[in-house]
Structure 1
Amino acid sequence: MVKKLVLAVVAALALPFLVTGVAWGHGYTTTPPSRAYKCKTGAVTNCGAIQYEPQSTEGPKNFPGGGPADGKLCSAGVARFAELDDQRGGTWPTTKLTSGATYTFNWTLTAAHATTSFRYFVTKNGWNPSAPLSRAQLDTTPFLTVPFNGQRPGTTVSHSGKLPSGKSGRHMILAVWDIADTANAFYQCSDVTF
């Protein structure tokens, strides 16, 4: 009887870690609005579970050498957020940006985490907005990197930087929040028009 009680207590204490994982940092981009954020606000419908937890697109770090598999970058490889990887025939609403201009990126963090950096990637000219996002479609050198050197950001984070030059038409920006003290990063995809 005592053994069963001990097992029950251990299981009850372990359950939150099994369900939610051990990473406490979560966040999403609001400017430009990411797909996850658009689902949260209802600007886009038929999004599945991501509308309730836009901050949870967490996957392996070390992008582009590591990280989520091609075709699963927007969901961070999390199956329950697969709607984010669906290009919907190129119909996700876009945010208008000016190529080469200075722009301020904003994140909302529901829980801060020791951070290596925030990095921003953009699709190549001529990419296929109807095909699942892959490394081959991205410029794999970030156009903006904001180092954090292991510091914890606040609940809102803003950084300004120059948007890539020579871009026109529909593109996607992949924002990556690299966590310093776990093996994970957070991935956010924003549909934009230059």
Structure 2
Amino acid sequence: MHKRRKLATLLGAGLSPFLVLGLSVTPAGAHGWITDPASRQAQCATNVVQCGEIKWEPQSVEGPKGLKDCAGGNARFADLRDDNKGWKVANVGGSATFDWKLTARHRTTTWQYFIGNTKIAEFDDGGATPGEYVSHNVNFQSFSGRQKVLAVWNIADTANAFYACVDVNIG
């Protein structure tokens, strides 16, 4: 029994530096999402709609730049792609203000908003670091009725972006 404890202690002591180093280089997984009107991930986080893992990580919908995907290319957050999940729709007029909450702030190139493949707005931050809250007023142009708005936060110092989808009824 004494030999086993000694072996376990030696193994633990020998592995601990590797565990500490491995944990310290893990990238952060928390960044930002739209809180108002409530994005799909905000609805998951507040139990408005029942979802999987995104419930605990509404700020983590990150993926390569250029996607048109509510889940940011993440299979873990596939619930966000499901247009039939019962998302609550926000009634808006010809424009709406989208409020982001940022839990980790990154230098930013642009914020983009799409309906389908049509870019309806872009805000250029020119590499600036935003505050904890960011708001954009988006004009819906000639769109009306129920629409899914894809919002994209493009990061200046990585190849990634953050994604959020908001269901709106324009009219």
Q: What is the TM-score normalised by the length of structure 2?
A: 0.84
2:146 equivalent to 1:170: yes
Report Cα offsets for 1:33-73 as digits up to 9, x if no partner. 1100011111111x111111100000001x2xxx3xx6xx1
What's the secondary structure of 1:54's corresponding residue? coil
Question: 1:127 maps to what in 2?
Answer: none
Question: Counterparts in 2 of 1:1-150, with a 5 A limit?
Answer: 8-18=16-26, 21=27, 26-45=31-50, 47-61=51-65, 63=66, 67=67, 73-88=69-84, 91-98=86-93, 101-123=94-116, 138-139=117-118, 142-150=119-127
Question: Counterparts in 2 of 1:145-160, with a 5 A limit?
Answer: 145-160=122-137
* Structure 2 contact 43–87 (Cα < 8 Å) conserved: no
Task: Tell me by how many angstroms 1:14 deviates.
Answer: 1.8
Letter in 2 for 1:81: F
Task: Tell me by how many angstroms 1:113 deviates.
Answer: 0.6
When the two chains are superposed, the root-mean-square deviation of aligned CA atoms in Å is: 2.3
* Structure 2 contact 105–130 (Cα < 8 Å) conserved: yes
What's the secondary structure of 1:190's corresponding residue? strand
How many pairs align? 162
What's the secondary structure of 1:51's corresponding residue? helix
Distance in 2 between residues matched to 1:109 and 1:10, nearest whole Å: 31
Question: 1:135 maps to what in 2?
Answer: none
Question: 1:186 maps to what in 2?
Answer: 162
Q: Which of the two has higher C-alpha Rg?
A: 2
Distance in 1 between residues matched to 2:147 and 2:17, nearest whole Å: 51
Q: What is the TM-score normalised by the length of structure 1?
A: 0.75
Task: Tell me by how many angstroms 1:188 deviates.
Answer: 0.3
Distance in 1 between residues matched to 2:14 and 2:149, nearest whole Å: 49
Task: Tell me by how many angstroms 1:5 deviates.
Answer: 5.3
Q: Which residues of structure 2 form unaligned runs of 5+?
A: 1-9
Report Cα offsets for 1:158-180 as digits up to 9, x if no partner. 12232222x22221000000000
Task: Tell me by how many angstroms 1:7 deviates.
Answer: 5.6
Task: Tell me by how many angstroms 1:8 deviates.
Answer: 3.6
**Identity of matched residues, %:** 43
